[in-house]
């Protein structure tokens, strides 16, 4: 996890990452690329490590990024949703039923 690697911590707090993240989210209209809900996370498709964090073609390339909502990001990393089926979090963080 990046919190344990000082190079990754520094990258995710850098001005260049913040600018790239903001530009990417704007380009994707802040929508999750998997489900269409509001995106909150810019996910690296090829995960960063101590070596790749210094490679702009991996760390900063739009081709390696994906806008995800929290639920889709949790599925990507943990194989499960943060909520039970039929539930999700609204923009204010409240647990609500999904309208089908």
- The owner of tokens 């204010």 is 92
pLDDT score, position 2:
44
pLDDT score, position 74:
85
Q: Is the pLDDT of residue 1 over 50?
A: no
Q: What percent of the chain has pLDDT over 90?
A: 55
CATH number, residue 8: 3.40.1800
Task: Find the domain containing 93 and state its range.
Answer: 2-97
Say which residue, 57 or 93, is predicted with more confidence: 57
Alpha-helix runs per DSSP H in 1-78: 6-12, 15-27, 56-59, 70-78
Q: What is the pLDDT of residues 18-66, one digit of tens each?
A: 999 999 999 999 999 999 999 999 999 998 998 999 999 999 999 999 9
Provide the 3-class DSSP secondary structure of residue 48: coil
Based on the structure, what is the number of domains in the chain? 1
């Amino acid at each position: 996890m990046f919190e344990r690697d000082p190079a990754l911590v520094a990258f995710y707090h850098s001005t260049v990452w913040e600018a790239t993240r903001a530009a990417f989210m704007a380009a994707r209209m802040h929508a999750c690329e998997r489900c269409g809900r509001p995106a909150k996370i810019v996910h690296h498709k090829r995960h960063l490590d101590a070596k790749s964090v210094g490679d702009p073609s991996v760390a900063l390339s739009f081709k390696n990024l994906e806008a995800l909502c929290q639920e889709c990001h949790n599925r990507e990393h943990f194989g499960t949703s943060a909520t039970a089926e039929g539930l999700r979090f609204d923009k204010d963080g409240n647990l609500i039923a999904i309208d089908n």
